[in-house]
Amino acid sequence: MPADAPAPAITKSIGIDCSPDVVFDFVADGANWPRFAVVNVQATRPNSEPGWWDMDTPRGPGRLRILGEREAGILDHEFRNEEAEWRVPARVVPNGRGAEFMMTFFKPPAFSDEFFAQQIDLVDIELAKLKEILEAGIQ
């Protein structure tokens, strides 16, 4: 595939029975990521560089930056580790009395198709955990 060709992408979403503001506040706080991103994030700590969080992951150390914009429901985030840099557009939008949380994943060039598919399948576990936490009112 040419370097400027579009990357393979997939969007995952989940309906959550709580307000979009609650979803936004929870996901926008890097300290909460180990609670719901249970497959990929073991621990987070604020980094000395503003906006960044250091992460412990099953694949080694990494960094996370959340690029939130409340009014638009934007919760984009960037991951960096030794293998790849990965920007994930994410949105939280009203859905009846609750919210819909969506993330779009673009395959990093360093990932094989098989590894990318495996990682995307694991997102379902993390989205289900996010829904469980927020719907239980545990924040």
Residues 21-57 pLDDT 10s: 999 999 999 999 999 999 989 999 999 999 999 999 9
What are the structure tokens assigned to 134, written together?
């927020």
Question: For residues 2 and 128, which has the higher predicted lDDT (pLDDT)?
Answer: 128
> Angle formed by the axes of helices 20-28 and 113-135, to 10°?
120
Domain-located, residue 13: yes
Span 87-121, pLDDT tens digits: 999 999 999 999 999 999 988 887 889 988 988 89
Contacts of 122 (CB under 8 A, 6+ apart): 39, 40
Residue 81's nearest CA partner among 56, 107, 63, 108 is: 63
- Structural domain tally of the chain? 1
- C-alpha span between 84 and 58 (Å, rounded): 14
Phi, psi of 118 (to 5 degrees): -60, -45
- C-alpha span between 72 and 94 (Å, rounded): 11
Domain-located, residue 22: yes
Domain-located, residue 97: yes
- C-alpha span between 17 and 58 (Å, rounded): 30
On the question of pLDDT at 1 being above 80, the answer is no
Domain-located, residue 1: no
Domain-located, residue 43: yes
